[in-house]
């Protein structure tokens, strides 16, 4: 019996949580199925070659390569084309709310089994109002476990429509590199302490958090500081104080080399918590309050039960002071020992088995046409309300930009898109981030699939396309 194909789709979230969970599930699926990851997140560039998983990048609506209405249709057609090409039986979506294009794919192809991997710990954002309609379109809803679930009082916490699993993590004790081997892989000194800093940069408040956290590491003798992103602002100015030995590394999956680090300073996202703490890394969490994820609730639970330290994300001085506590070896030893009590993060394996079972079942849940149309009406209504609410803000922004014009750094080139089946990160990254539309094709795809993708692109971009294909 041939292995069934299962598509794991993810949104482009604030962090890497959606993509990390899909990767963990795909790793567990490889022995029993053919997993394919499709994602709007740029981080997908790291997956094909490092994890030997077939992938396809789909530009998100935020890229503005087409209108939002066209993008909804484009996403639907991209998914349907991939389903037809690979004979996929299951489409799993990991994201806050499934896009209309994802729901439309199920409505257009009733034999498809549609699964929503719906993380808990939601903040009370507007997305909660479509939970009921979205849920009715699914064959199965899976909630990946969260160690902080006891502090979940959000809109999904009282629903009875999902199957709860253990936490999902890319960290596995059996495959993680030992301390010295992990340090060699990262080019670090074996005999000096190492701190991992995983905080974002961008807006002013986020940059200030980064600087405050790094200041808390000053005075730690002989310390090596590893970052996954250069600590600079949009103008190229350094956010790091003088006196630190900094090294920016790119390693995927970072979960495999976590034993290299003595401490961590990290946002309180799902994958950060469920990788660092199972690896028993003494950690300070500095929450990111953007998005739907209730990082503050997760940080409070970790702090209240002694698994990590929580810094007040609104208090710059507290961030510095809390990070400084990691310099105390007794604090580090206490946090590391407490983390040994955490439950196993076997959710990836559990979800893989659920998806495989769905893929081998004969019948899918019948698509609910009435529910689908109600959902689309609600989506357009919500989009209209957001448009009205933004009109005033846009007018203010236009006045501001008239007084303070900015230089347009990048515009999407109005030329035929590049089609390609790249799998190496050094090739994928510039194409994904570039200003020429990039149409990524899953490796090993057919000429028929290329022609189908050309048709989809022509409808989306509004002009005929002479295919430029890069292998």
Give 368's pLDDT tier (boundaries 50, 70, 90): low
Q: Pick the residue with more confidence: 469 or 102? A: 102
pLDDT of 380 > 60? The answer is: no
Residues 144-198 pLDDT 10s: 999 999 999 999 999 999 999 999 999 999 999 999 999 999 999 999 999 999 9
Question: How many CA atoms are closer than 13 Å to the CA of 1, on its beta-carbon side?
Answer: 7
Res 164: pLDDT: 97
Q: What domains, with CATH codes, occur in the chain?
A: 5-168+350-461 (3.40.50.2000), 179-343 (3.40.50.2000)
Instruction: Convert the pLDDT of each residue in 12-58 to its tens digit.
Output: 865 677 999 999 999 999 999 999 999 999 999 999 999 999 999 99
- pLDDT, position 342: 97
Across 452-465, average pLDDT? 87
What's residue 1's pLDDT?
Answer: 63
Q: Please report the pLDDT score of residue 220 as a whole number.
A: 98
Mean pLDDT of 98-116: 93
Q: How far is CA 412 from CA 43, 65, 361, 409, 416, in A?
A: 20, 7, 44, 10, 11
**Is residue 376's pLDDT more than 90?**
no
Question: Rounded to whole angstroms, how far apart are CA atoms 402 and 396?
Answer: 10
Is residue 117 within 8 Å of 358, Cβ to Cβ?
A: no
CB atoms under 10 Å from CB of 380, counted, come to 12
Condensed to tens digits (0 to 9), the pLDDT of residues 50-76 reads: 999 999 999 999 888 898 889 999 999
Peptide bond before residue 215 is cis, with ω within 30 degrees of 0: no
**What's the pLDDT score for residue 115?**
97
Separation of alpha carbons 20 and 252, rounded Å: 10
Q: Is residue 270 pLDDT above 90, yes or no?
A: yes
Closest CA to 16 of 267, 311, 197: 267
Residue 85 has pLDDT above 50, yes or no: yes
Helices 369-403, 100-108: crossing angle, 10 deg rounding: 150
The CA angle 426-429-430, to the nearest 5 degrees, is: 95
CA distances from 294 to 122, 154, 171 (A): 5, 8, 22
Residue 131 confidence (pLDDT): 84
For residue 151, the model assigns a pLDDT of: 98
Does residue 125 have a pLDDT over 80? Answer: no
Tens of pLDDT, residues 410-425? 466 678 899 999 999 9
The model's pLDDT over 196-229, given as tens digits with 9 standing for 90+, comes to: 999 987 778 889 999 999 999 999 999 999 999 8
**CA 246, chain centre distance (Å):** 25
Q: What is the pLDDT of residues 289-345, one digit of tens each?
A: 888 899 999 999 999 999 999 999 999 999 999 999 999 999 999 999 999 999 999
Structure tokens at 133: 């309609």
Higher pLDDT: 398 or 331? It is 331
397 or 352, higher pLDDT: 352
List the structure tokens of 184. Answer: 């060699």
Residue 110: what pLDDT?
Answer: 87
**What pLDDT does 401 receive?**
41
């Amino acid at each position: 019996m041939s292995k069934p194909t299962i598509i794991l789709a993810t949104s482009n979230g604030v962090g890497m949580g959606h993509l990390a969970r899909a990767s963990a599930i795909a790793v567990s699926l490889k022995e029993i199925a053919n997993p394919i990851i499709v994602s709007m997140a740029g981080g997908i560039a790291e997956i094909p070659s490092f994890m030997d998983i077939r992938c396809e990048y789909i530009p998100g609506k935020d890229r503005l390569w087409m209108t939002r209405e066209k993008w909804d249709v484009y996403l639907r057609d991209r998914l349907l084309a991939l389903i037809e090409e690979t004979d996929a039986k299951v489409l799993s979506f990991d994201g806050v709310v499934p896009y209309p294009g994802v729901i439309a794919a199920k409505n257009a192809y009733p034999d498809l089994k549609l699964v929503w991997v719906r993380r808990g710990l939601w903040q009370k954002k507007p997305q909660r109002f479509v939970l009921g309609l979205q849920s009715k379109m699914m064959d199965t809803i899976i909630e990946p476990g969260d160690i902080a679930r006891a502090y979940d009082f959000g809109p999904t916490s009282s629903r009875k429509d999902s199957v709860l699993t253990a936490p999902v993590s890319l960290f596995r004790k059996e495959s993680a590199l030992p301390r010295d081997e992990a340090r060699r892989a990262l080019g670090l000194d074996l005999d000096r302490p190492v701190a991992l800093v995983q905080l974002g940069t961008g807006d002013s408040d986020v940059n200030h958090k980064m600087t405050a956290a790094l200041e808390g590491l000053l005075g730690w003798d002989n310390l090596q500081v590893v970052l996954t992103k250069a600590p600079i602002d949009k103008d190229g100015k350094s956010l790091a104080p003088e006196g630190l030995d900094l090294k920016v590394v790119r390693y995927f999956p970072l979960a495999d080399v976590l034993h290299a680090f003595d401490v961590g300073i990290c946002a309180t996202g799902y994958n950060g918590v469920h990788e660092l703490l199972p690896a028993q890394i003494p950690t300070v969490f500095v929450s990111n309050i953007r998005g739907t994820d209730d990082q503050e609730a997760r940080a409070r639970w970790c702090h209240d039960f002694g698994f990590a330290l929580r810094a007040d994300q609104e208090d710059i001085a507290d961030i510095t002071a809390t990070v400084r506590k990691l310099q105390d070896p007794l604090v580090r030893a206490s946090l590391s020992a407490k983390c040994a009590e955490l439950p196993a993060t076997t959710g990836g394996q559990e979800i893989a088995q659920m998806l495989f079972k769905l893929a081998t079942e004969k019948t899918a849940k019948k698509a609910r046409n009435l529910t689908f149309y109600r959902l689309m009406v609600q989506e357009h209504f919500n989009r209209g309300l957001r448009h009205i609410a933004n009109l005033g803000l846009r007018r203010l922004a236009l006045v501001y930009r008239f007084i303070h014009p900015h230089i347009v750094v990048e515009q999407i080139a109005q030329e035929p898109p590049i089609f390609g089946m790249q799998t190496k990160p050094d090739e994928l990254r510039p194409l994904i981030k570039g200003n020429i539309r990039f149409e990524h094709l899953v490796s090993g795809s057919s000429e028929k699939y290329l022609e189908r993708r050309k048709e989809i692109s022509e409808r989306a971009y509004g002009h005929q396309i002479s295919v430029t294909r890069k292998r």
